[in-house]
Structure 1
Amino acid sequence: MRNILIPKRGEIKVNRKSIRISICLILILILSLSLSGTSFALRGGSVYTGSKQIAAPNVENLEPSSETTKMTSPRQVPSNVDIISNQITVSNEEISKPASETTKMTSQKVTSLNAANLMSLSRPTKGTNLPYDGAFSGVNTEIFSNYYFFTNGSTQLYVDWNVRADYPANVLWHINVYQAGTNKFVMSSDQFSTNSNTGWWTTRFYNLDPAYNYYISFVNDGPQISFPISGDFTVRLK
């Protein structure tokens, strides 16, 4: 017959106490793990609860933010606009283009005795100092000054002129300016009328390139080739 060991009453109390302590430790461990998971979730992590994973809200997404992206194509800027130091300034290109203005002379000019310098159908190959007096007659197309003019670094020329129609008719005409040496066309004056622009007038050509000398021509614009024009003129610096 086997011997059955029956624990004493004091031993039973000790075992029950140990069990309670173990249970308390387990509960404390579970609570500690739970608090640790909550703290991790508040920092933007995720909490694993059984088979479900709960993502904690990201608090940083609520803060103000900005985003910058590169444009796939360059922004189109007008050719006459420069962007410097975030300020838009109008380019000087438009301002520096050659231009002209014409005003009527307040007093009638007397034709110079040197006005016998007739113009030519050929472009000039020699230069002369200013002022220069010239004349032309019977022009049906375009006629050039016999000389180009030494500008001495000046950016403007003045042309005093008195142009008339050879016959009673209203003839339109204008002045051209060319670079000496290159024969490059620079600009035209306004178009004038022998009926409206009578007497002496002055046309100022300005914003010229000071690196060049220049010559001029008078151009008959019609109405047709049978109406020639004649005139006297003076070219001067000022």
Structure 2
Amino acid sequence: MRLLRMVSWTSMMLLPFIASAQIAPQPLPRPDAVRPDPVPPASPAAPLPDEAADCLARLKRQKVRFNVTGRSERGSCSVDNTVEIEAVDTPFGLVSFPDKPVLACDFAATLTSFVQDIAAPLARARFSAPLSHVATGPGYVCRNRNNQSDTKPSEHARAAAADVTMFTLGDGRQIAVHPDDGKDDAATLAFIRGLRHAACGYFTTVLGPGSNAEHGNHFHFDTALHGRTANYRICE
């Protein structure tokens, strides 16, 4: 009897543990996921310098006389930030561009720098007279290279080229670009050759008499890239 009471008591004591063992364990409640602080909206990027305005300011600092033509469209071609060049002031006097070429602003700055730095002082040194005019043609022309239908667009179509045909001095003398026929005096030969060599420091392409038939009566200057950088030059 006593043994029966002990068994009953033991069973009663173990009953809660047995019951709890039959209940499947429940997972602990998950804490709320940690949420990162919201990312603040990106600040607007600093505006890039106004390249067009900077270039026009550069021309003014160079004492170039020009008219802003902005976006120029001719045929299927269009070029932004073009200017019409009238003249440039040099240490040896004003040099005019009677053809008033329309050029991309960057190229206009390069061409007028070349006239200021090279053409004007070289004319004074060789002829004892100031350079007065530089004939350039229209500059911007919507066409392919050498006016051929199966060639790539010319740099003229990008307003980044000029064809210089003649230099006029203050005393009226004219120095035309033409093949060396042995008839020019020493000063003229030195002037033309000096310009041609020095131009390679300003332009990436320099062509003229002797380069090919298309450039027999003028200098062609442009700033086209012939590789990834402007280090490679075509000077013929």
TM-score range (shorter-chain normalised) is under 0.3
State the TM-score, normalizing by the size of structure 1. Answer: 0.25
Choose 1 or 2 for highest CA Rg.
Answer: 1
Larger % of helix: which? 2
Larger % of strand: which? 1
